[in-house]
Structure 1
Amino acid sequence: MSDAILLQGAASIDWNRHFLLLANAVDASLRGAEVALTSFSAEASDFIRFNAGKVRQIGHVSQGKLTLRLIDGARQAYSTLTVCGEAELDLHDVTSALATLRDGLRDSPDDPHLLFETSQWERSTRRAGKVPQPQALVRTVAECAKGLDFVGFYAGGTIVRGFASSRGSRGWYEVSNFNFSWSLYDPSGRAIKTSYAGDHWSDATFARKVEQAAARLPVLGLTPRALSPGRYRSYLAPAALEELLGVMGWSGFSARAQATSRSELFKLHTGEVALDSRVTLTEDLSLGITPGFNDDGYLRASVPLIQGGRSVERLTNARSAREYGLEPNGALENEAPVALSMEGGELAEDDVLAQLDTGLYIGNLWYVNFSDRMNCRLTGMTRFATFWVEHGQIVAPIEAMRFDDSMYRLLGDQLEQLGAQPELLLSDSTWGERGTGGMHLPGILARSFELTL
């Protein structure tokens, strides 16, 4: 396996055409009953770091990698290699990798959990989107952040995923999008964090978000409110809920974890507990933020996970299906949701503070992890934009505090209202490559949220 490298001038490569060229060459090189599953990922992305409203670091990354999976009977082997976009060079590397895999299969044992899709299909998703040019974005930030201590990170451009099977299946996913997160700092060192993500950039939307965050900066200069450990009426913004559901989803919806009694939502799946009847969670492929196929060759469709507060289905990968006698539903290998959507309620954004009345407004959470897996209890820290609210008015910032509470409580008997306007929160992962996926979530008003220290 080799790491992806930077490719100069690769933004103009027709990756779809190039991928099909390589995949067809792989298929033509097979012998006997061999089967090939070929996966591809690429991007052409701009990255910009800002500090004090000025550019600190800027760059462009174009990269691509191909994963070959050779199957012979019940044996399989993988190889991942960098592709440069030059047909002759990449075809040579693919041919060499295929020969190495074939040699390796000779002495490989059978894989008892091997399962892959054998039907033939085609699926293509292409969204050109509208992302800002780096030079234009720098000017916009400079104008909107004038006089502010603006610190942020922008990532945007085209993301590509592809799949090909020697059985005739072909999948392609190519979208242009962006994800921009930033913080406005107060001289005290406290900050308000905001994000903006999507397919179609708007200078006006960005300016409005910066203006809204700046309007709350004076509050950060006030004396922080000291709170004692206890349970407080709280509003959790979509970004805060995202942190909780992201951890809950590590294996909470996994068919494998449920079959081995390791799911953090085990009690929900068995019916021992139930959430509020308004809670509905779906692995929602209609959002279009992740490919509609996986590396095992299965087409993906939306999967209802929780309806009416009760467990419905699990995310089932092909290997789990083979091992536990289940039906695969296109889940990825880790069986974690990548397009999690939660239905909203009736709480309008403009009414949040009034409905909260007195309590905590929690904008962000971090360092979230489990404190008690079997009771789906999470712990972590409040982060930026956490305020004390009295009679519907923000009156003071809150110093970072640790929380420890169960999702069964927060989405159960403590859930008072759901926000009326769910927010699209795209994945901000850039580990090795820009990630696809994200969440579509409302904020929640909880009767109580437990702070421990």
Structure 2
Amino acid sequence: MSNHLTNRHYLDILMDAALEATPGASTCSLHIAAEDTTFIRFNHARVRQATQVSQAYATVTLTQGARSADSTLTLVGDRLLDTAALLHAQAELARDLPLLPEDPYLLSPDTVVDTERDDAGTLPSASQVIDAVAKHAPGLDLVGFHASGPIVRAYADSRGQRNWHRVDTFSFDWCLYHSTDKAVKALRAGQHWDEAAWARQLAQGAAQLRLLGQAPRTLPPGRYRAYFAPSAMAELLGVLAWSGFGQKEQAVGTSSLTRLVRGEATLHASVQLSEDTGRSIAPAFTPEGFTGPGQVPLVVDGQHAGTLCSPRSAREFGLPTNGALAGESPQALSMAPGSLPEADALKALGTGLYISNLHYLNYSDRQHCRVTGMTRFACFWVENGELVAPLQVMRFDDDLLDLLGPRLIALTDHAEIHQDTNTYSQRQLGSITTPGALVAGFELTL
């Protein structure tokens, strides 16, 4: 019965039942987030946990004038029980709605825009993933977490709008452990499983793992030439996503990109950043029923070019909304690739730092876009384009606008997608797509 939870016909039945009962002059909407996921956890290249999770959450929203109220409940996959729960939630909202104060920034969709996306992927079965690990990782301490299956987002309202989004997707977040704090970390994600490609990625990680047994190179604080792998770049761009691109933050001056917005700083001319939902796995609509363009330019040729404007910000600042989520963080942040051949990145670096992963990132000075954090996992000292020794864990503190501006040397010619692997409550559809970056003067502080 739980398989109903990602079935379009079943969800349409529930939506129709709830929306047909919309009371009076109110507008009712229903947003559903569902998944049917296989989870496998590995340790020492062996299965430590395997389970299947089928779940769906439905949010019923009732709006009348400038008043709105919503209620979220868990669907169980039984048509009678789920319909009764939705109608009960709707009745409670109708009772409470007149008691609520008016919301001056409430904005509801004023046009009906239907969307549909149903992407079937080639996902691996649990046995295929387990067999691949057993075949390619013997003798390795592989620790990882695999999640795979369809994810659904659906929206419908009493105005007649219908939006459907179902994608098959997987993520395999794994590392090869050496000892103490030494490990090689990697992520394989997408809609099409390729065992051979994963095996090549694993072999590359195993080669780096052997280097981790050497004595680490301890560097004095200072500025160093560095190459950031796409995984490390995704961490840096993820910090910018916290507060950088939202209309509200930029309007009130609390955005970390304020200097860029004001023209006090510019990024390198090769930097192109956009919210690129059209080429991602993210839905083309919000839980409130707003849709937007497939791409929203944020930085063009190193210059500020746009913001993510949520419905509330649109109301507050008199602007059109562009399909941004309520928090105005990007769902599909994308940095365009550059011209440096990825295979030549270490050669172009010459001598300096190879940064594979970063962690504990946070702003040290949000207004000036200074970010601090730690190097992590397989980070190496490079000489003459060759990895020669692991890097002792170091803290950095640097100005990202300067790092991606005057100190950016080149971006690689290939961009990688890094899906959000967060599974708290439910799997996510967010992603960051980015190339690697060669920079001058990356600042290590201790």
TM-score category (smaller protein): over 0.9
Aligned pairs (5 A) from 1:28-427: 28-187=20-179, 189-301=181-293, 302-427=295-420
**Alpha-carbon displacement from aligned partner over 1:193-217 (angstroms, at most 9, x marks no partner):** 1111110001111111111111122
Q: Do structure 1's residue 17 and structure 2's residue 16 form an aligned pair?
A: no
Is the 8 Å Cα contact of residues 256 and 369 (structure 2) preserved in structure 1?
yes
The alignment-based identity, stated in percent, is 45
**Whole-angstrom CA distance in 2 between matches of 1:31 and 1:151:** 53
1:448 positional shift? 1.6
Q: Which residue of 2 aligns with 1:5?
A: none
Is the 8 Å Cα contact of residues 118 and 167 (structure 1) preserved in structure 2?
no
Change (3 A) 1:13 1:249: closer
The letter of the residue matching 1:108 is L
Aligned to 1:168, the other structure's residue is in SS state coil
1:139 positional shift? 1.2
1:122 positional shift? 1.3
**Whole-angstrom CA distance in 1 between matches of 2:32 and 2:174:** 31
Aligned to 1:233, the other structure's residue is in SS state strand
Aligned to 2:99, the other structure's residue is in SS state coil
Is the 8 Å Cα contact of residues 37 and 295 (structure 1) preserved in structure 2?
no
1:260 positional shift? 1.3
1:185 positional shift? 1.7
Is the 8 Å Cα contact of residues 115 and 319 (structure 1) preserved in structure 2?
yes
Aligned structure 1 segments of 4 or more residues deviating by more than 2 angstroms: 11-15
Change (3 A) 1:14 1:295: closer
**Whole-angstrom CA distance in 1 between matches of 2:128 and 2:246:** 43
The letter of the residue matching 1:239 is S
The letter of the residue matching 1:263 is S
The letter of the residue matching 2:331 is V
Change (3 A) 1:310 1:189: closer
Is the 8 Å Cα contact of residues 188 and 221 (structure 1) preserved in structure 2?
no
Moved more, 45-54 or 26-35: 26-35
The letter of the residue matching 1:46 is T
Is the 8 Å Cα contact of residues 181 and 377 (structure 2) preserved in structure 1?
no
**Whole-angstrom CA distance in 2 between matches of 1:14 and 1:305:** 34
- RMSD, matched Cα: 1.1
**Alpha-carbon displacement from aligned partner over 1:48-77 (angstroms, at most 9, x marks no partner):** 111110011111110001001100111110
**Alpha-carbon displacement from aligned partner over 1:282-329 (angstroms, at most 9, x marks no partner):** 100221310001122211211000001000110000011111211111
TM-score (norm 2): 0.98
Unaligned runs of 5+ in 1: 1-8
**Whole-angstrom CA distance in 2 between matches of 1:12 and 1:24:** 16
**Alpha-carbon displacement from aligned partner over 1:164-223 (angstroms, at most 9, x marks no partner):** 121111101101111101111224551111111110001111111111111122211111
**Alpha-carbon displacement from aligned partner over 1:336-383 (angstroms, at most 9, x marks no partner):** 111011111111121111110000000000110000001101000000
**Whole-angstrom CA distance in 2 between matches of 1:260 and 1:235:** 34
**Whole-angstrom CA distance in 2 between matches of 1:260 and 1:189:** 41
Which of 412, 424, 432 is the matching residue for 1:431?
424
1:123 positional shift? 0.7
Q: Do structure 1's residue 448 and structure 2's residue 441 form an aligned pair?
A: yes
Is the 8 Å Cα contact of residues 283 and 339 (structure 1) preserved in structure 2?
yes
**Whole-angstrom CA distance in 2 between matches of 1:165 and 1:252:** 32
Aligned to 2:242, the other structure's residue is in SS state coil
The letter of the residue matching 1:219 is L
Aligned to 2:254, the other structure's residue is in SS state coil
**Whole-angstrom CA distance in 2 between matches of 1:334 and 1:188:** 38
Is the 8 Å Cα contact of residues 264 and 373 (structure 1) preserved in structure 2?
yes
Aligned to 1:151, the other structure's residue is in SS state strand
Is the 8 Å Cα contact of residues 6 and 36 (structure 2) preserved in structure 1?
no
Aligned residues: 445
The letter of the residue matching 1:277 is A
